[in-house]
Amino acid sequence: MADFLKKIYGVFVTLQASTWLLITGVAAYFYFFAAGYKDKENRLRSFLYFQGKVIQAAITCASGFNKKIIKYPMPDKPSILVSNHTSMCDSFVFCSFNIKNFVCVSKGWPFNIPLYGKFIKYAGYINSKNKTAAEIIEIAKEKLKQGLHVVIFPEGTRQKKTGRFRSLAFAAAIAADTYVVPFAVKGLDKMIPAGKYTLTPAPVEYVQMPAVKASDFSFEVGHLKMARYVKDMIVREIERKNIIGKA
């Protein structure tokens, strides 16, 4: 596909998805807030999951249906989900694995996005701004007890190349005696890199890797060793470069 046609196609897909998200977002705002709907948290998570599926459908179209998903069985208990972080769409990757009951740990700015920020706040997402690591770990443990997976991007911010993994996600998993489930996201850095808001056609691949048991690292500085171990898993998968086809 010629570069010009790729750009036109990417803009078209982006506009279609954005229009849908805006219309349904405004409708949901009035439904959940203006009308005073009670029991918002569970329903809002379901709504965000639905919105995530729409975003993933747009990504599938923008990839030219060149999108691959590799799954492993999920653990039988709520877990910490971690991934490399290359685009603003990364938090919706988990919808492609039909994972519905999850909350993300984010710092500040996503909670200021019109409509979306209010949705994630009332859906129980964790705002790490002005919180200590110990406070975040305790909140994450409570979410896990409620039967929710907790998504944490160990790099903290979007990176073109996989950066240092902070240990908070792994300390939380050890404190809660649960699993860490690593995911590798390939191609979104080219489809929608930092600073861009329209989709550029590119192949995409999401890989869920085998869960890592936190109890295997329940020793002094175990969270640091676990962070390095999981990062190595993700980096090896990214470097395998077996994204199907070419855009």
In a domain, 92, yes or no: yes
In a domain, 247, yes or no: no
Note the pLDDT of residue 246: 46
Quote the tokens at residue 158: 């979007």
What is the CATH classification number for the domain harbouring 126?
Answer: 3.40.1130
| Residue 30 DSSP label | I
Work out the widest C-alpha separation in the chain, in whole angstroms.
Answer: 55
Host domain of residue 198: 3-240
How many Å apart are CA 182 and CA 126, to the nearest integer? 20
Whether residue 118 lies inside any domain: the answer is yes
Is 142 part of a structural domain of the chain? yes
Polymer length in residues for the chain: 247
Is residue 226 a part of any domain in this protein? yes
The burial class, CB within 10 Å (0-12 / 13-18 / 19+), for 39 is exposed
In eight-state DSSP terms, residue 209 is P
Task: Look at residue 246 and tell me if it is in a domain.
Answer: no
Give me the pLDDT at residue 243, please. Answer: 53
The answer to whether residue 123 sits within a structural domain is: yes
Q: Per-10-residue mean pLDDT for the chain, 247 residues long?
A: 80 93 94 77 95 96 95 96 93 96 94 95 96 97 98 85 90 98 95 87 96 95 96 94 53
Helices H / strands E in the chain, number of each:
7, 8
pLDDT at 247: 44
Q: Rounded CA gap, 118 and 105, in Å? A: 15
Q: Are 165 and 154 in contact (CB under 8 A)?
A: yes
Residue with tokens 């007890």: 145
- Give the C-alpha separation, 172 to 169, whole Å: 5
Counting Cβ atoms within 10 Å, is residue 223 exposed (0-12), middle (13-18) or buried (19+)?
buried
Is residue 245, in this structure, part of any structural domain at all? no
Number of domains in the chain: 1
Quote the CA–CA distance of 127 and 106 in Å, as a whole number. 5
* Cα–Cα dist 169/12, whole Å: 37
Amino acid identity at 81: L
Amino acid at 209: M
